[in-house]
Amino acid sequence: MKKSDFVVAIVLGLGVVLVVKYFQPQEPEQEVLELPPRQPPVAVQPPAIRHPVPEHPPQIEPPVAEPATTGPEPQQEEPAAEAAATVPENPLPPLDDSDDRLKQDLYMLAARQTLESLFNLNRIIRRFVVTVDNLPRKHLLHSRYRSNRMVRGRLQVGKDSQGLYLREANFARYDTFVDLLESMDSNRLVALYLHYYPLIQEAYEDLGYPSAYFNDRLIDVIDQLLATPDIDGRIALVQPHVLYKYADPELEALSAGQKVLIRIGPRNAARVKSKLRELRQALS
């Protein structure tokens, strides 16, 4: 065989290999949770705990209903604390293998279809920790890191002679999230949190806080959200570039979580704050 023929044969052979490899069916890519890069390790010291989690789920007293003036006597309901929030006593799974167990427990709190439509149930505990940790910051992380899925619909903005403003129609975009939060039994929710707390704390330490206590961070976040100003009137906006901002500098200076509470509207914000007060009482 001539040298030139030998070279041609090699080239053709490589071409066939590449073509076969290219057209072979590819393995589907595994879904990978992208989380913020971990912080560099620091000297580990025991956290100075300000809000230790209770050893047992405390009973959250339901709101006292006003007595009816007429009608039959209301039936006595079983105290919510008895259903307490019974949680499985099985040993906790490893953090990165906890999704299946936690999903089954969450489905006891709310309908599976609702939860899966509103939240990303992949690496649930890690997403929860990242979301909570970022609420007091100036900007939220990208949605691919967070627990909740994107809110459906576009931001509803109106314009009149006074300028841009947030339309009341925008508040309804968040109703499903708030309805779900309000419907969850607070006793069971707290019990589930306490049951999985060792894994939650582990995820928080992995995020870059080996000497911090997650429940302290959660209480601080709740307190900041509860301090969000109540806005009943017009919410003026400006659009200096692509994104909208609050026209009031004081509102624009709030944390990302506080801005969300304003964006969901006064009625929804009041409902969220009511639930947060219940949970804070049980967790502090």
Question: Which strand ranges, in their side-by-side order, compose the sheet holding 236-238?
Answer: 157-160, 163-166, 236-238, 245-246
Integer CA distances (angstroms), 277 to 20, 65, 185, 273, in order: 63, 18, 14, 6
Q: 50 φ, ψ to 5°?
A: -100, -30
The whole-number pLDDT of residue 142 equals 67
Beta-carbon contacts of residue 31 (< 8 Å; ≥ 6 apart): 122
Q: Is residue 46 part of a domain?
A: no
Q: Is residue 37 part of a domain?
A: no
Among 236, 231, 223, smallest CA distance to 267 is for 231
Q: Is residue 25 part of a domain?
A: no
Q: Is residue 262 part of a domain?
A: yes
Residue span of the structural domain in which 237 resides: 90-284
Per-position pLDDT tens, the chain of length 284: 554 454 444 343 434 333 333 333 333 333 444 555 555 545 556 677 999 988 776 677 665 545 544 444 444 444 444 444 455 567 899 999 999 999 999 999 999 999 999 998 999 999 999 999 999 998 876 666 778 777 887 888 999 999 999 999 999 999 999 999 999 999 999 999 999 999 999 999 999 999 899 999 999 999 999 999 999 889 999 998 888 999 999 999 999 999 999 999 999 999 999 999 999 999 97
Q: Is residue 276 part of a domain?
A: yes
Q: Is residue 58 part of a domain?
A: no
Q: Is residue 179 part of a domain?
A: yes
Quick check: 164 and 236 in contact, CB under 8 A?
yes
Structurally, the chain folds into a number of domains equal to 1
The whole-number pLDDT of residue 107 equals 95
The whole-number pLDDT of residue 79 equals 45
Compute the distance between CA of residue 248 and CA of residue 236 in angstroms, rounded to an integer.
7
Q: Is residue 155 part of a domain?
A: yes
The whole-number pLDDT of residue 215 equals 96
